[in-house]
């Protein structure tokens, strides 16, 4: 049996819309604030949660080399999760819609690469791979739910899936 291969595509708002929002200035409207010294790109994404929202910094210390294989996806059913690169670095995004209430649809996995100026906000319940970076160390601002109770479901695949250009 041959391994399923997913091709990486450029990240854009339309292709990513079913999984969440792309956080970027390019292609979005703004208005001026602070005596015309600042362009405000307002409400590019909305945090979804039943608890407090926290801002954290994740420092990814492992480089991902393309091609690579994945063997799991995770989701956060009680809140959205945003990743915003702090150093203008590209990163990889692997997502899948839900097949049912407990599993991702492994036949619908998509992989995206950012242009370095984009972040993403995964909607609550979106199946995604943990952070994958092409450079290390890579720092990210992460906006997500800070609350009690379990909020991370992990699904391990029966077979690995290859991600490639």
pLDDT at position 43, please? 94
Extents of the domains making up the chain = 5-164
- Mean pLDDT across 154-160: 97
- Mean pLDDT across 130-158: 95
pLDDT at position 2, please? 84
Rounded to whole angstroms, how far apart are CA atoms 159 and 165? Answer: 20
pLDDT (tens digit, 9 = 90+) per residue, 78-132?
Answer: 999 999 999 999 999 999 999 999 999 999 999 999 999 999 999 999 999 999 9
Nearest to 93 by CA among 101, 84, 102: 84
- Mean pLDDT across 134-138: 94
Residue where the block lists tokens 């954290």: 56
pLDDT at position 18, please? 97
pLDDT at position 23, please? 97
Contacts of residue 93, Cβ cutoff 8 Å, sequence gap at least 6:
11, 16, 111, 112, 113, 114, 120, 128, 129, 132
pLDDT at 1 over 80: no
pLDDT (tens digit, 9 = 90+) per residue, 32-86?
Answer: 999 999 999 999 999 999 999 999 999 999 999 999 999 999 999 999 999 999 9
Report if pTM > 0.85: yes
Task: Tell me the fold of 5-164.
Answer: Jelly Rolls (2.60.120)
CB 79 within 8 A of CB 131: no
């Amino acid at each position: 049996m041959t391994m399923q291969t997913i091709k990486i595509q450029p990240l854009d708002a339309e292709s990513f819309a079913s999984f969440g929002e792309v956080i970027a200035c390019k292609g979005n409207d703004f208005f001026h604030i602070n005596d015309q010294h600042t362009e405000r790109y307002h409400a590019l994404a909305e945090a979804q949660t039943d608890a407090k929202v926290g801002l954290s910094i994740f420092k990814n210390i492992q480089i991902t080399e393309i091609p690579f294989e994945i063997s799991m996806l995770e989701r956060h059913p009680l809140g959205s999760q945003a990743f915003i690169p702090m150093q203008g670095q590209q990163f990889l995004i692997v997502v899948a819609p839900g097949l049912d209430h407990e599993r991702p649809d492994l036949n619908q996995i998509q992989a995206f690469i950012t242009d370095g100026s984009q972040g993403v906000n995964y909607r609550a319940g979106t199946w995604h791979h943990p952070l994958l970076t092409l450079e290390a160390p890579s720092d990210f601002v992460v906006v997500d739910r800070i609350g009690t109770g379990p909020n991370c479901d992990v699904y391990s695949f029966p077979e690995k899936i290859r991600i490639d250009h």
